A and B are shown apart, each in its own frame.
Chain A
Amino acid sequence: MTPTTRTRWAILGLTGPAYLWLAGTIFLPLTAMLVLSFLDKSPLVPQPASFTLANYQAYFSKSFYWPLTRWSIELGLWVTLFCFLIGYPAAFALAKRVKGRWREAIFLLIVLPFWSNALVRVFSWTMVLRSNGIVDVAVQSVFPGAPTIDLLFSYPAVIIGLVHSYLPYMILTCYIALQAIDDSLIEAGRSLGANRFTTFYRVILPLSLPGIVSGAALIFVPVIGSFMEPRILGGTKGATLGMNIEEQFTVTANWPLGAALSFILLAIVLVIFGILYPVLRRQGGGA
């Protein structure tokens, strides 16, 4: 056996299980859903189904889908933005300023929310955000007579809950990217006369962009499909396309429509990333 074929076998042996797993758990169900989205009947109905475009037409013919889609995308953008604004500085501090045992301790604190059930986290937020809740009581005790703070069942409440849920993704991906930046590059920039801001803008930010992009993708995609947090924290103010998709599976048992809506959401995500990709490539200097 020549070394090249051996390498090839090694690659196949090492990556094969992962590809098989992905094919079995992602590709197959996704294909099944794609086929389902073109059927006129749910698979639970014993009559034979025929192919139709009606499920996709429904999205364009019914007036309420567009506002729901717009709100879902806006929610995704807001949550991603806040995760970046909060998460990036935290990741920077962790990667470049904090060392040793402290770093481990802080990491633990960041990952800690992941150890609890998502539903529990959301319900804890309802206790914090409501009037007469923890925030309200704290503010009232310091400033008696201040207007009551009742954030629960509002759009900001949904954003707060989602940012809290997804922030660790942004911190972890940015941390990995920032930590990989050689300190001597930063020193070189400084010694060549660049001030702190220029060094950050010309050296650190472009080099850490892959981390930001993967963090943003990891957050944006699940957030625009979210339905649990908007329902519990948003009350009537948390309407998303994800909630309507869920309803097609649980209330109307119209799986084909639910599948079609999911693929429309997927298409929207792909279009957004398709538009952003060249911009990010250029910014990242081909990284």
Chain B
Amino acid sequence: MTGKTIDKMMSLKPVSRRRFVAGASALSLGAGLGMAPFVRRASANTEVKVLNWQGYGTDEAWALEAFKAATGLDVVHEYYNSESEMITKLQTNPGAYDVIVTNSAWNARASDLGVIQPIDTAQIGHFADLNPSFRDSPLLGTGGNVFGVAWVWGITAIAYSTEVYAEAPNSIEVLWDAKNAKRVSVRDDAIEMVNFAAIATGQDMNHPADLGKVKEKLLALKPNVALLWSSEDEWNKQFQAKAFDVSIYWSGSALRSKTNFQLPVGFVVPDEGAVGWFDGLAIGKDAPNVEGAHKFINYMIDPTYYVDWATKVGAPASANSKAMAALPDSDPSKAFYSDEAAIKRLQFMAPLSDEERQAYSDLWTEVKTEFAQ
């Protein structure tokens, strides 16, 4: 599971990630393998069948009512609990889904497998308003084809205590600074840690050429790491207890820590860069209602819908620049996500092979074993 998906989960319910994943994996096995024959085919032209995480924007009742009033289309949902489950569902039920929410790290995997089809952007009225950093990302399209319309996004970067730092630490090296012995926290996540060590050593964060350097950099964190955090709730508790001053953290969570819990949290994208993620909206191969799918995607990136979602429920940042501009000035996320220069410094999560995942996991375990000694 990637950082952003958990970020997303945490924004919805304070579920413990571990428990959620354990339950979800068990469910997904049943859902992925056993339930396929019972999937109802969407009846074309009156329905749009959506595959997404539960409670993640597309299934808000008020939004679906508004969409039905505008287009006459009913929206039917099916859910996945992990990205690998999403891919499995697309492979085992071809032609069952119209719109699929695909993460930047998984969209290319889906298009490579041929389970999603190119999107006719001329039918998406708001497409031109999307931030080019996301809209034109190679992670959402190849060879002139667009396989995903950028929808929402977030950042994994550095959070710090504003009581300790009068000014934002601008370098990723703050994590390795000898002054910060036992004052740093990082998430216990292999991929995120490899990403950051790769950025700090000036490499491609997704596929670092020199894993030896990455390992060396991570080992050098040993004297500074006070704790490894694993959930937003835990992060807030430890931060409040001043167990650390600086940490790798998620943008949405940092915003919540600051506004909902009044913690003195600052968040910065260092000069060297940080990790970015975004979700795209894709159209399934042989989708029963291609026209409806385009309409629904256009509605999902509509500023009016986004402002409602963000203010009524709470949402990640929109990839539509006009939607961000339409947020009320009092909304803290408006200023928070508006730093174009910071967005330019981000590296985005790309698809990883199973071998890469395993290699990163082994590397991080080795580093943790060294930490414990």
Contacts and interface: CB of A to CB of B under 8 A. Distances in A.
B372 A251 contact: no
Given A67-B369, A247-B365, A250-B1, A231 B188 contact: yes
Contacts of B25: 249-250
Nearest to A240: B372
A237 interface: yes
Interface string A193-231: 000000000000000000000000000000000001001
B18 A247 contact: no
Contact of A236 (B1, B85, B225, B357): B225
A112 B366 CA distance: 39
A153 B227 contact: yes
Given A43-B33, A44-B29, A236 B241 contact: no
Interface string B216-253: 00000010011110100010011001110000000000
B32 interface: yes
Contact of B361 (A68, A152, A228, A251): A251
A57 to B, nearest CB: 14
A253 B85 CA distance: 11
Given A63-B366, A71-B372, A236 B228 contact: yes
Pick the most buried of A43, A62, A247: most chain B CB atoms within 10 A of its CB: A247
B366 A231 contact: no
B116 to A, nearest CB: 16
Interface residues of A, number: 40
Pick the most buried of B29, B85, B372: most chain A CB atoms within 10 A of its CB: B372
A152 B243 contact: yes
Nearest to B90: A46
B117 interface: no
A239 B369 contact: yes
Contact of B28 (A44, A45, A64): A44
Interface string A238-268: 1100011011111111100100000000000
A45 to B, nearest CB: 8
Interface residues of B, number: 45
A88 B227 CA distance: 34
A24 B125 CA distance: 54
A37 interface: no
Per DSSP, chain B at the interface is helix
B33 A235 contact: no
Interface string B1-37: 1000000000000001010011001001100110000
Contact of A246 (B18, B191, B228, B362): B18
Given A43-B33, A152-B243, A231-B188, A236 B84 contact: no
Contacts of B242: 132
Contacts of B222: 236
Contacts of B366: 63-64
A251 B191 contact: yes
Contacts of B121: none
B68 interface: no
B189 interface: yes
A126 interface: yes
A286 to B, nearest CB: 42
B1 A43 contact: no
B94 to A, nearest CB: 12
Interface in B85-115: 85, 88, 91-92
A250 B225 contact: no
B358 A252 contact: yes
B212 to A, nearest CB: 15
Given A44-B28, A67-B372, 16 more contacts: A46-B88, A46-B92, A68-B369, A123-B237, A132-B241, A132-B242, A153-B227, A228-B18, A235-B227, A236-B225, A239-B368, A250-B18, A250-B21, A251-B190, A252-B354, A252-B360
Interface of B: 1, 16, 18, 21-22, 25, 28-29, 32-33, 82, 84-85, 88, 91-92, 188-191, 222, 225-228, 230, 234, 237-238, 241-243, 354, 357-358, 360-362, 365-366, 368-369, 371-373
Nearest 10 A-B pairs (CB), nearest first? A239-B372, A236-B371, A235-B227, A64-B369, A252-B361, A44-B84, A252-B357, A250-B21, A64-B366, A46-B91
7 contacts: A43-B29, A43-B32, A237-B372, A251-B189, A252-B190, A253-B354, A257-B358
